[in-house]
Structure 1
Amino acid sequence: MKISIAMAAYKGERFLREQLDSIARQTLLPYELVITDDSPDSGTADIALEFAHRVPFPVRVVRNTERLGFHANFFKAISLCEGDFIAFCDQDDVWTDNKLERVAREFADPDVMLVVHGVKVVDGDLNEREDNTAGHWSYRGVYDPLTTNPWYVLFGMSTVVRRSIYDFIDWRERPEHPIDPGFPMSHDTWAWFVATSLGKISAIDDALVLYRQHGANACGVAPDRDVGDKVKMAKVAGATHYRRMANAAFGRAGKMRNVSRDAPLPVRERAAAAATYYHALGERLRRRADLYGAATSTVRRAGTIARLLVSGAYRPLNHGGLGHRALLKDVHATVFRVSIE
């Protein structure tokens, strides 16, 4: 099984050796390791090149001539991978020895496009923290296309994807088919969007990565929020937020409409279904944005909620809806004339 590892590196000298050593210990060795180094003035490439000379699999180290930034650098690493599957890899974690072997079993089903696993959150010295996987990962089992939360944010380093998703849907931002120009997708968010649209995902409990939190992470564990914090966050989301989400949904629909003509028929059919799904979601979000405008009358708001309700717009997030909490918030905003831009 050909699993490429894509690593986007930036001044990784502090922890890189431990991560590389854990890759070398894999019970199923990778097909290759691709490292794109975004810090040509550091010793990161030297560590990677020394590692390349002592392992039995290819290691390609590409030093960027100019700084790309986290998002673009990761997409570059992914684009250079040649295996049938791609494992996203951060520079500062530690993998369990059986990570690739365990994940590989899930891809026996050809419809599985993405596999994600649990993590163990540790500090800079690999001591386990109180943070736990349950607080940051809510899926378990196998899910059919378009049956998960489309806005879910997963841990990239816990993700392995089928390489073909990058062949079916153009991952590059193009002016004629933007997803959301003001908020470009990260590599892992993009993978979740495409994989959950075109096939199944498999989510397993096994904690296969020591997810190191050391204070300088490019991305890290989100702080746990109680119900009160979540309510406060929901209250401040208004017309601007929902319009932006609507635009993102329309952008996703556009990407799915432009599926490769060379994609297998089942993939093209799923892409068409996903385009319909995201367009409908965009329409619901656009209508919801109108609810929170200061000039919108109570009668008009009530009518909008009624139409959304009848159309099934308040179904659970996992089924393309806005969720029951959205209904409660919208009714409250209508009754009490709440306006939020």
Structure 2
Amino acid sequence: MLLSQLILTSMRISVALCTYNGEKFLAEQLKSLANQTRSPDELIICDDASSDSTVDIINEFIRTAPFTVRFFSNEANLGSTLNFEKSIRLCQGDLIFLCDQDDIWFSNKIAIIEREFLLNEKIGMIFSDAELIDENSNKLGHNLWYYCFPAKKRKEAMDSGLYRVLIDANVVTGATMAFRSRFREAFLPIPLDLPNTIHDGWIALAMSILSEVKFIECPLIQYRLHPGQQLGLGSLSAKNTNESVRSLEFLLRHRKKYSLPMSQTIDLLHKDIKRLYKIEEVISRYPHIASRFDLAICLDELIKRKFEYILHLENRLKLPENRVKRLLPIMRELLSGRYKRFSKGVMSAIKDFIIHPSKA
């Protein structure tokens, strides 16, 4: 499409912002929305029964906002997933941008993403990297993808399909996401029974099956890490814990989630296998998604790989205490190829010979 055609083409853009006791950072986020070089056509705000000054901040912003703001206040707290579902349903635009209350959008975010949608009608969803900042808006020196979507995962997504990456682990943060509204009926309502998955993980997985997805490697928002926030990075969501997923400690574990004692890794893998079986059950309830590809084959491959990983770890833990007696089972494990697939190849085998894995 020519640049002149792009300029003449218009898409109606909605931003879906969910708030809950966000007085500390909300004004800064709203300011970044007002400063967009391409203003949204509407901002949908759904507040989830805040008890601080969040509603006052929103009402003050509405008085001066350079675009339409539609504000909805929940009488009772819905929780983040249902609140985002509500805000998505209320959007009237062709494109829906999800927005968290804590972040800061770069001024060209909407313009860049809209242009990518205009260039390719087949793209249904776009997401980007994010620059990490602390609660005082200081840069932390790394981008979000360093932790949750490193180069190896990006290559896998390009080579094998993003949906294969997302079935295994969510790498998409809702705060960086935009999608075409015409797809929403295919993935709504957002399932509440998918383990360790919140709204962004489900939407990303569904959209990767329903349409083409583009990821933009440059950061388009500043993503804030701070205590008390429970949105984002759905694959390891703190939904069922007291831990914030907007903490550096959480991101470090997300990057090295299997760099744990082997027994803990085995437990984690068994839980993940149960999650994969649940994915198949959940997707079967969404006919537009279930009909798009052979989910069973993809899940079977992943489940088989995880069982093989468990076997590798169990074989290493069962190695004899006597170093000489360890040599033969280590050689068998090497010849199986599992040291290469799941550990660091010969280096891990040598280490197991020198130090028993249970003592490493």
TM above 0.5: yes
How far apart, in 2, do the equivalents of 1:161 and 1:199 lie? 10
Match of 1:52 among 62, 68, 90: 62
Q: Tell whether 2:269 aligns with 1:242.
A: yes
Q: Tell whether 2:170 aligns with 1:152.
A: yes
Aligned-partner residue type, residue 120 of structure 1: E
Q: Tell whether 2:20 aligns with 1:3.
A: no
Deviation at 1:54, TM superposition (A): 2.3
1:23 is matched with which residue?
33
Q: Tell whether 2:190 aligns with 1:172.
A: yes
**Structure 2 contact 48–83 (Cα < 8 Å) conserved:** yes
SS at match of 2:140: coil
1:114 is matched with which residue?
125
Residues 120 and 282 (structure 1), Cα distance of their counterparts in 2 relative to 1, 3 Å cut: same
Q: Tell whether 2:137 aligns with 1:126.
A: yes
Residues 27 and 7 (structure 1), Cα distance of their counterparts in 2 relative to 1, 3 Å cut: same
2:81 is matched with which residue?
71
2:224 is matched with which residue?
212
Match of 2:97 among 87, 99, 102: 87
How far apart, in 2, do the equivalents of 1:238 and 1:206 lie? 32
Unmatched runs of 5 consecutive residues or more in structure 1: 315-322
Aligned length: 307
How far apart, in 2, do the equivalents of 1:152 and 1:202 lie? 15
Deviations 1:252-299 (A, max 9, x none): 223333334xx5xxx665x332354235434554676677789xx99x
Q: Tell whether 2:302 aligns with 1:281.
A: yes
Deviation at 1:74, TM superposition (A): 2.7
How far apart, in 2, do the equivalents of 1:286 and 1:160 lie? 35
SS at match of 1:129: strand
How far apart, in 2, do the equivalents of 1:213 and 1:3 lie? 27
Deviation at 1:45, TM superposition (A): 1.5
Structure 1 range deviating more: 191-200 or 13-22: 191-200
1:317 is matched with which residue?
none
2:293 is matched with which residue?
272
**Structure 1 contact 117–158 (Cα < 8 Å) conserved:** yes
Match of 2:206 among 182, 188, 194: 194
Unmatched runs of 5 consecutive residues or more in structure 2: 1-10, 231-244, 320-328
Deviations 1:165-217 (A, max 9, x none): 4311344337xxx433xx3x211111221122223221112221122334443
How far apart, in 2, do the equivalents of 1:153 and 1:112 lie? 18
Aligned-partner residue type, residue 113 of structure 1: G
Aligned-partner residue type, residue 84 of structure 2: F
Structure with greater proportional helix content: 2
How far apart, in 2, do the equivalents of 1:41 and 1:75 lie? 21
How far apart, in 1, do the equivalents of 2:89 and 2:263 lie? 38
SS at match of 1:258: coil
How far apart, in 2, do the equivalents of 1:237 and 1:171 lie? 34
How far apart, in 1, do the equivalents of 2:37 and 2:176 lie? 17
Aligned-partner residue type, residue 203 of structure 2: A
SS at match of 1:146: helix
Aligned-partner residue type, residue 214 of structure 2: S
Residues 235 and 164 (structure 1), Cα distance of their counterparts in 2 relative to 1, 3 Å cut: farther
Residues 113 and 338 (structure 1), Cα distance of their counterparts in 2 relative to 1, 3 Å cut: farther
Residues 281 and 232 (structure 1), Cα distance of their counterparts in 2 relative to 1, 3 Å cut: closer
Deviations 1:295-331 (A, max 9, x none): xx99xxx9xx99xx89xxx8xxxxxxxx922697xx9
Deviation at 1:91, TM superposition (A): 0.9
Q: Tell whether 2:278 aligns with 1:251.
A: yes
**Structure 2 contact 164–298 (Cα < 8 Å) conserved:** no
SS at match of 1:203: strand
Q: Aligned Cα RMSD in Å?
A: 4.0
How far apart, in 1, do the equivalents of 2:127 and 2:43 lie? 19
SS at match of 2:223: strand
**The structure with more radius of gyration:** 2
How far apart, in 1, do the equivalents of 2:165 and 2:205 lie? 10
SS at match of 1:130: strand
How far apart, in 2, do the equivalents of 1:64 and 1:132 lie? 34
Residue identity over aligned pairs, in percent, reads 25
**Structure 1 contact 40–65 (Cα < 8 Å) conserved:** no
Deviations 1:111-147 (A, max 9, x none): 3232111222223332322233452342569844535
Aligned-partner residue type, residue 272 of structure 1: F
How far apart, in 1, do the equivalents of 2:261 and 2:126 lie? 30
How far apart, in 2, do the equivalents of 1:19 and 1:203 lie? 23
